[in-house]
Amino acid sequence: EHGITKPKGYNVSFHYNPDMEKHHFGMTHPMKPWRLTLTKSLVSAYGMNFAMDNYTARAATYEELTSFHAKDYVNHLATVAPQPQPLDMENPNPDLRFNLGGSDCPLFEGLYNYCSLSGGASLDAARKLCANQSDIAIAWGGGLHHAKKAEASGFCYINDIVLAILQLLRIHARVLYIDIDVHHGDGVEEAFFSTDRVMTVSFHKYDPSNFFPGTGGLEDNGPKSEHNPGAHHAINWLFETIITRVVEKFRPGAIALQCGADSLAGDRLGKFNLLVQGHSSCVEFCKKLNVPLIIFGGGGYTPKNVARAWAYETAIAIGHQHDIPTQIPIHTPWRDRFKIDSLLPTIQQILGEPRQNRNTQKKLSEIVQHVMEQLRFVGA
């Protein structure tokens, strides 16, 4: 009697594999694949699965992984032995092949399986869009935006987003990538630096000396060469104003949206101020653009908040955000883990005292101004 039904002629697909959550980065590591279990439990408790096509994602094949990643890197990932003990920030490993085995990217049991499952879900999602069988395809297990061609970085080993965008490019002339994780989407940006068929827009906290990965400043708009068609196709930072103009100029055939939930208030790593309402309004905005949309997860280090955001964003995708009760259903597994029984807690409930907004109006208009100038170089 949840009243959640499927809208006629509008398809949402949900790509998920419960095996992903069984993997552990280590006790003290902030990345908890278990947050996907919590997300799925909320999505199911609300009955949202009745309004979508649900798929158990398969693992990406070696051929699929090497459609972007270097073979020697993927071979190493497939064969390397797990570390006997994970390292932490106090005990770094001085000799890292492919940046693997340090504190950020530990070599844990089943790593290759974890990577292939994340990649497989995002690839399945992309293929549903390409086959015109979904209008919105969701892969919360993906969004691992820091992974490079032959290097792990920032909790990311395989860049499932790049794999998915490469699929979308088979069908679509131009793909827009948007990234609302609190960190800079450097791996996706770098992968498409020299093409004008993918525009990457990352919103993030930028503080080169104190915040990972330190890239993604305003001047970082793609290599500035007359002969590089990728120039001016990487713009960072502010949502509606910017995305509206970007879409007008770039006219993407599909949009790939990374929804890292570490930009939410109360995140263990992010230290940002967004409510689920603000974070998810980005999803709502992208949905209204009426372009095939693929949605990925990403960061998010306070599992209860991650689950709230991704469940609410799933509700937006299926168009039920206004008719679901904001009280978390009684029969939700692990309901006590949510502490506050609302799906949409207030800033007072999360932080007590809200954080000060240290972006000045002047700085914000400078950013918009700068982006608008860059956009003069984009499109026909």
Closer residue to Zn ion, CB minimum distance, 135 or 179: 179
Whole-angstrom Cα distance, residue 98 to residue 57? 27
Q: Which of residues 133-152 bind ligand TV1 (CB under 6 A)?
A: 144-146
Q: Does 104 bind Zn ion (CB under 5 A)?
A: no
What, of Zn ion, Ca ion, ligand TV1, none, does residue 69 touch, CB below 5 to 8 Å by kind? Answer: none
Choosing from 8, 85, 89, 362, the residue that interacts with ligand TV1 (CB under 6 A) is 89
Q: Does 260 bind Zn ion (CB under 5 A)?
A: yes
Strand partners, 327: 342
Choosing from 151, 262, 267, 313, the residue that interacts with Zn ion (CB under 5 A) is 262
Q: Does 204 bind Ca ion (CB under 5 A)?
A: yes
Residues touching Ca ion: how many (CB under 5 A)?
A: 5
Task: Give the start-end residues of each E strand in 180-303.
Answer: 198-202, 234-236, 254-258, 293-296
Q: Which of residues 188-207 bind ligand TV1 (CB under 6 A)?
A: none
Site string for Zn ion, 317-356 (x = CB under 5 A): ----------------------------------------
List % helix, strand, coil for the chain (3-state, nearest 5). Answer: 35, 10, 50
Dihedral sign, Cα of residue 71, residue 75, residue 77, residue 83: negative
Catalytic residue list contains 279: no
Q: Does 156 bind ligand TV1 (CB under 6 A)?
A: yes
Q: Which of residues 97-116 bind ligand TV1 (CB under 6 A)?
A: 103-104
Measuring CA to CA, which residue among 190, 212, 213 is closest to residue 200? 190
Site string for Zn ion, 8-47 (x = CB under 5 A): ----------------------------------------
DSSP 30-42: S--TTHHHHHHHH
Which residues have a Cβ under 8 Å from the Cβ of 4 and sit 6 or more positions away?
Answer: 46, 47, 48, 50, 51, 318, 320, 324
Choosing from 127, 174, 183, 205, the residue that interacts with ligand TV1 (CB under 6 A) is 183
Alpha carbon separation from 197 to 47, 128, 143, 188, 369 (Å, rounded)? 38, 20, 20, 13, 24
Q: Does 267 bind ligand TV1 (CB under 6 A)?
A: no
Q: Does 93 bind ligand TV1 (CB under 6 A)?
A: no
Least distance between ligand TV1 and beta carbon 177 (Å): 14
Strand 254-258 and strand 293-296: the pairing is parallel
Q: Does 181 bind Ca ion (CB under 5 A)?
A: yes
Closer residue to Ca ion, CB minimum distance, 100 or 144: 144
Closer residue to Zn ion, CB minimum distance, 180 or 291: 180
Q: Which of residues 272-311 bind ligand TV1 (CB under 6 A)?
A: 298-299
Helix (H, G, I), strand (E, B) or coil at 196: coil
Strand partners, 129: none
Among left, alpha and beta (phi > 0; psi -120 to 50; other), residue 159 is: beta
Q: Which of residues 111-130 bind Ca ion (CB under 5 A)?
A: none
CA angle centred on 221, ends 216 and 223, rounded to 5°: 110
Q: Does 183 bind Zn ion (CB under 5 A)?
A: yes
Whole-angstrom Cα distance, residue 373 to residue 360? 20
Q: Does 181 bind ligand TV1 (CB under 6 A)?
A: yes
Whole-angstrom Cα distance, residue 136 to residue 256? 10
Task: Give the start-end residues of each E strand in 117-253.
Answer: 136-139, 175-179, 198-202, 234-236
The site for Ca ion (CB under 5 A) is made up of 179, 181, 185, 202, 204
Q: Which residues are catalytic?
A: 184
The site for ligand TV1 (CB under 6 A) is made up of 28-30, 88-89, 103-104, 144-146, 154-156, 181, 183, 212, 260, 262, 269, 298-299
